[in-house]
Chains A and B, each alone.
Chain A
Amino acid sequence: MSFTFQKASPTAAVVRIGKALDFRNAAEFKAACQEHARQGIRYYTLDFSGTGILDSTGLGVIFSLYRQLTPAGGQVVFASVSRPVQVVVQLTRTYKVFRQFPTVEAALEAHSASAPAAQVPQRPSDAA
Chain B
Amino acid sequence: MSDRPHVLVVEDNKTLRRLLEYRLGKVYDVAVAEDGQRALAAVEARAPDLIVSDIMMPVMDGFALLAALRSEPDTQAIPFIFLTAKADDLSRQKGLRKGVDDYLTKPFDVDHLITRVGQIVQRSQVYQSRLTAKIGRDFSDRLLPREMPAEPGYRTVFFSRPKEDGGGDLFDWTRAGDGSYLFTVGDIMGKGLQAKFYAFSFLSYIRSTLHAMLRETVSPARLMQRVNEMLITDAVLEETFASLLLMRWEPDTHRLTYCNAGHCRPILVTPDGPGMVEHSDLILGLDLGTTYEDRALVLPPDSALLCYTDGLNEQVTRSGGMFGEGGVALGAQQALRAEQPVHALLSWLLRRSEKPTFDDDVLVFWLQRQPLHAGDGQASAPATGWRHHSAADHRQPNGA
**A123 partner residues in chain B, CB cutoff 8 A:** 278
Q: Contacts A92-B243, A92-B262, A94-B286 hold; do A56 and B279 have CB atoms under 8 A apart?
A: no
- Tally of A-B residue pairs with Cβ under 8 A? 62
B188 closest partner in A (C-beta): A56
Say yes or no: B278 contacts A94, CB within 8 Å: no
Checking B191, B239, B262, B283 against A64 with a beta-carbon cut-off of 8 angstroms, the contacting residue is B239
User: CA A124 – CA B282 in complex, angstroms?
Assistant: 16
User: Is B310's beta carbon under 8 Å from chain A?
Assistant: yes
Say yes or no: A91 contacts B241, CB within 8 Å: no
Say yes or no: A56 contacts B286, CB within 8 Å: no
Q: Contacts A56-B167, A59-B189, A60-B190 hold; do A92 and B275 have CB atoms under 8 A apart?
A: no
Q: Contacts A56-B310, A94-B262 hold; do A127 and B285 have CB atoms under 8 A apart?
A: no
Q: Contacts A91-B262, A91-B264 hold; do A97 and B286 have CB atoms under 8 A apart?
A: yes
Checking B187, B281, B322, B324 against A93 with a beta-carbon cut-off of 8 angstroms, the contacting residue is B281
User: CA A59 – CA B240 in complex, angstroms?
Assistant: 11
Interface centre among A56, A57, A96 (most CB of B within 10 A): A56
Say yes or no: A127 contacts B278, CB within 8 Å: yes
* Range class of the B interface residue count: 20 to 34
B contacts with A: majority SS: loop
Say yes or no: B281 contacts A60, CB within 8 Å: no
User: Closest CB of chain B to A107's CB: distance in Å?
Assistant: 20
Say yes or no: B278 contacts A124, CB within 8 Å: yes
Interface string of B267-282 (1 = CB under 8 A from A): 0000000011111111
User: Is B287's beta carbon under 8 Å from chain A?
Assistant: yes
**B264 partner residues in chain A, CB cutoff 8 A:** 91
User: Closest CB of chain A to B208's CB: distance in Å?
Assistant: 25
B191 closest partner in A (C-beta): A23
Count chain A residues whose beta carbon lies closer than 8 angstroms to a beta carbon of B: 22
**B191 partner residues in chain A, CB cutoff 8 A:** 23, 56-57
User: Is B295's beta carbon under 8 Å from chain A?
Assistant: yes
**B280 partner residues in chain A, CB cutoff 8 A:** 93
User: Closest CB of chain A to B263's CB: distance in Å?
Assistant: 8
Checking B239, B279, B322 against A67 with a beta-carbon cut-off of 8 angstroms, the contacting residue is B239
Q: Contacts A91-B264, A93-B262 hold; do A63 and B278 have CB atoms under 8 A apart?
A: no
User: CA A64 – CA B281 in complex, angstroms?
Assistant: 19
Q: Contacts A97-B286, A97-B287, A126-B295 hold; do A56 and B262 have CB atoms under 8 A apart?
A: no
Q: Which of B159-191 contact A (CB under 8 A)?
A: 167, 187, 189-191
**A57 partner residues in chain B, CB cutoff 8 A:** 189-191
3 closest residue pairs by CB, A with B: A92-B262, A60-B189, A56-B189
Please report B residues at the A interface, Cβ cutoff 8 Å: 167, 187, 189-192, 239, 241, 243, 262, 264-265, 275-283, 285-287, 295, 310, 314, 322, 324
Please report A residues at the B interface, Cβ cutoff 8 Å: 23, 55-57, 59-60, 63-64, 66-67, 84, 87, 91-94, 96-97, 123-124, 126-127
Given A59-B241, A93-B262, A94-B286, 20 new contacts (CB under 8 A): A23-B192, A56-B187, A56-B191, A56-B310, A57-B189, A57-B190, A63-B286, A66-B286, A67-B239, A91-B262, A91-B264, A91-B265, A91-B310, A93-B281, A94-B282, A94-B283, A97-B282, A97-B286, A126-B278, A127-B278
